[in-house]
Structure 1
Amino acid sequence: MGGISAAGKLQAEGHSVTLLEGRDRLGGRTWTDTSLGFPADFGASWVHGASVQNPLTAVVQGLNLRTEDHPDKQLCRYDKDGVKYNANQVAKWELWCWDAEPGHGATGTLEQFLRSYDPAFFNTVEGEMCLAGWDFNEGSAVDLVSAAKIYQSEVEETGGPEWLMLDGYVSLVNGLVQRFQSAGGTVKTGAKVTQVEYCMGFGDVSCTANVTYTENGSSVTQSADAVVVAVPLGVPRRQRLAPSGDDL
């Protein structure tokens, strides 16, 4: 959602904005599937700590989106065969994923520690899902206790309920897009940016940036006063961007 969020912010400050999206949909890692007749989120699905300290709270309320206060303790969890966990299994899952006792620190990465903590569990589908709940920083030396305390402090700092998006998280994306377009913003999907050229102004001399992207199989170049590129962290990590020039 970085692209539409940045576009809306710039628009609110009085700029004329065109949003280019390489996929055929907006939202990035926010993806809601409705093929089974109900919304199932494969990306974000919660607004954690929905209080005045959380900027998403006002956005969700301003868009009149349907939510439900749904504490984590009410969740049901199932194994890879579709069998529901009993209370003891859920408690064990919570211990492994969130509530490690002091003294379980490690000097390797968080993922390495979790896998060594209980190899049998973290080599299963359930274990992989647990691992997916953490944002691993490659090469970091954070231990499970530190990460759990950071997560807990963030939730306690914001306070407020845990909101479940009843129409899927895509409702938030669609609401932001609709608001952006109704205010005059332009959205182009399937527009894969291939090159961004810019120059640095000097004194009274100004210049524009040129953005080249594909649209309906053709290459299009558009000029702009400025360009904002929103990409997942994995893109620069995997060196899928190729910056060049003395100013980079």
Structure 2
Amino acid sequence: MARGGKSGPRGSAGRRGLTVRVKTAKGRKLASTRWLQRQLNDPYVEEAKRQGYRSRAAFKLLEMDDKHHLLKPGGVVVDLGAAPGGWSQVAVARVKADVGEGEASGGKDGKEGPRGRVIAADLNEIEPVPGAAFMQLDVTDAEAGETIRAALGSARVDVVLSDMAASSTGHRQTDHLRVIALAEAALDIAEDVLKPGGAYLAKVLQGGASGDLLNRLRKNFAKVAHVKPKASRQDSSEVYVLAKGYRGEAPTKAF
């Protein structure tokens, strides 16, 4: 299983000496051919397979966490839109969630540190991620936050993650609005479950968070910034908005 120790490919590009070219097959669209060629020549895809990650996206979270220190041993994390599970794998390793006998790693002295907790939520079922509890729910549902809080019991959340993206329409402005809507849904949940001082990390597109989303973040968090990890493809318009230092108070409603 992937451990989440390295944030990028180790010499993958160097090992791949030749570019793999894919011919357009009968019945395959040009866009599909380009996607396949890009996958075959992407060192992060190769390294994800080598390290046991379910997607290259794991390296984006690894890189951002290396720099911003979001995932700490003993932390509680909610991963929204978790499929296929790459971000949840990273979160499990870094907060040291209990993945079962023989798989959990302790400190250098052999002693186990504090155990974290990871909730992976998605509209569709995914293959179980060892160490993460899965919840099948629609994150845009108005009751999603309360559902997650009920599952957490008395635990409060340190980090809410969202790598969600709507299917592309090919129209930049429409795609941006759809991704922002998902980021806003993730923020709704974050405001329900985060402990004071907690963090929120969500995907947006080029142009970043704006309007109501940005205003809410600046009001409710001490620091707000946009980050683009190197693991994001150069031709990708994605960026992430990171908010740290949640100013809200823990809800008083009991579950």
TM-score if structure 1 supplies the norm length?
Answer: 0.23
Higher relative CO (Cα under 8 Å, sequence separation at least 6) belongs to 1
Larger Rg: 1
